[in-house]
Amino acid sequence: MFRRLLEDAGQRVRVTIDGRPATARAGDSVAAAMLACGLPYCRTTPLSGQKRAPYCMMGVCFECLVTIDGVDNRQGCLIEVSEGMRIDTQLGRRAVE
């Protein structure tokens, strides 16, 4: 759905998305990295399980909520990727472990 204008720009950052290795670029937000990797959605809603993807990319809509390094409900658009980061799509309602 998205492509990079400059294939070589920016340092490569290795992350995992749902356990699979993926490459992002320094300066990418988590939400941008997920879109760049072609992920069709980043969460399903707690109520009906609808698929949702990043919508505003500026921290107001909360559609890009994902699990980052084991912490749920992080705003993917406000957090930059870092080496070794574990990103997981967030399916349905959260629960206390």
Partner 1 sequence: MSAGANTYDVAVVGAGPAGLAAAAITAGADLTTLLLDENPTPGGQIYRAVTTTPLKEQSLLGEDYWAGAALVAETKASGAEIVQGATVWSLDATRELAASWAGTSRFIKVRRVILATGALERPFPIPGWTLPGVMTAGALQTLLKCSGLVPAGRLVLAGTGPLLWLLAAQLLRAGVRIVALLDTAPSANYLRALPHVPTFAVSRYLTKGVALRREVAQHVEVVRGVTRLRAEGQGALASIAFKAGPDERRLAADVLALHQGVVPNVNLAMAAGIAHRWHPVQLCWVPVLDAMGNSGIDGIAIAGDGAGIGGALAAEAQGRLAGLAAVAAVAPERLARLPDRQLLEQALARSMRGRAFLDQLFAPPRWSRLPEGDTIVCRCEEVTAAQLLEAVGMGAMGPNQAKAFLRCGMGPCQGRLCGLTVTELISNTRGVAPAEVGHFRLRPPVKPITLAELAAMAHTQRAVAAVVRE
User: Which positions touch partner 1 (CB under 8 A)?
Assistant: 1-6, 9-10, 25, 27-29, 32, 35-36, 40-41, 45, 47-48, 50-63, 65, 71, 73, 77-80
CA 74 remoteness from chain centre: 9
Q: Of 38 and 84, which has the nearer Cβ to partner 1?
A: 38
Closest contact distance (angstroms) between CB of 19 and partner 1 is 21
Cβ neighbours of 50 (radius 10 Å): 10
Long-range contact set of residues 18-21: C-beta below 8 Å, sequence gap at least 24: 18/87, 18/88, 18/89, 19/88
Closest contact distance (angstroms) between CB of 35 and partner 1 is 7
Q: Of 16 and 50, which has the nearer Cβ to partner 1?
A: 50
Dihedral pair phi/psi, residue 74, rounded to 5°: -85, 145
Q: Of 78 and 83, which has the nearer Cβ to partner 1?
A: 78
Beta bridge pairs of residue 91 = 44
